Amino acid sequence: MVNYLRPILLVAVTLPLTACGVSPGCRAVTGAGIGAAGGAAVGALAGNPAAGAAAGGLAGGATGAFTSPNEVSAGPSPVCE
């Protein structure tokens, strides 16, 4: 049962810190965080959370780096400027 709660806890902890920021670097880091959390959760359901986290992190990082704050924004980042 604990194995099923880890991805949920990871998403709950990282979600407030992700998908935000103004600079491309900050957006890439926060996008990678939310992507890795979501990928790990889906990967855990499929039996391979590490591969899911890697794929989600790459997709989220690329999305954060290549989109502008005008297209997708969750506000300023509490982590980086």
Question: Domain locations in the chain?
Answer: 2-66
Supply the pLDDT for residue 37: 84
Supply the pLDDT for residue 12: 65
Supply the pLDDT for residue 64: 82
Q: CA-to-CA distance for 56 and 52, rounded, in angstroms?
A: 6
Cβ neighbors of 38 (< 8 A, separation 6 or more) are 11, 56, 60
Q: pLDDT by residue for the chain (81 residues), tens digit each? A: 567 777 776 666 555 555 567 788 888 888 888 888 888 888 888 888 899 899 888 888 888 888 877 766 666 666 666
Q: What distances in angstroms separate CA 79 from CA 14, 27, 34, 42, 43, one per listed residue?
A: 11, 11, 14, 26, 26
